[in-house]
Amino acid sequence: METMETQYFQEHLPDKWVVVRIEGGEFPLTYKVFACWQGGYLEANRWKMNSGIQKVEEEKTHWVFTGFSGSRYLCGKKQYGLTYFGDTVLGNFIEKAKTRGVSLEILPPETDWKNLLVTPEIPSIEK
């Protein structure tokens, strides 16, 4: 369930989550959080994909991913994965992306999230 909402940003605490890598076509390399919530008796299953990961922070039990929109996803370290509903939705996205020449892949759980956005320094070429 969502934990906090203000006019400036939202914080989300998903039941399950994965990070996807998107690239190709008109899309530059982008990493996004795909979050899932398991519904219950009065709530429907739901999912949300963030605007793109801009910042990653590590807390004791969670990874905190801040998106370009300012929203934050507080993702439990032991909750990496998808709900059945989320797996179906993301699977459809992956298939549709292929038909458009876009690569959309789920990163493995052992990914070094702290260095996800670090770009290696390009050595200068001196004559």
Output the pTM of the full model. Answer: 0.84
Mean pLDDT per 10-residue section of the chain, whose length is 127 residues: 51 97 89 93 90 95 95 97 96 95 96 80 45
pLDDT for position 42: 79
Task: Residue 59: give the domain boundaries.
Answer: 2-107
CA distances from residue 116 to 19, 29, 43 in whole angstroms, order as listed = 10, 12, 33
Cβ-proximal residues to 1 (8 Å cutoff; 6+ apart), any chain = 13, 37
pLDDT for the residue 6: 42
Q: Does residue 52 belong to any structural domain of this protein? A: yes
Residue 118 lies in a domain: no
In a domain, 120, yes or no: no
Any domain includes 61? yes
Domain total in the chain: 1
Q: Is 84 among the domain residues? A: yes
Residue 117 lies in a domain: no
Contacts of 12 (CB under 8 A, 6+ apart): 2, 3, 35, 48, 71, 72, 73, 74
Amino acid identity of residue 40, one-letter, is G
Q: With respect to residue 125, please indicate whether it lies within any of the assigned structural domains.
A: no
Residue 10 lies in a domain: yes
In angstroms, the CA 11 to CA 4 distance is 5
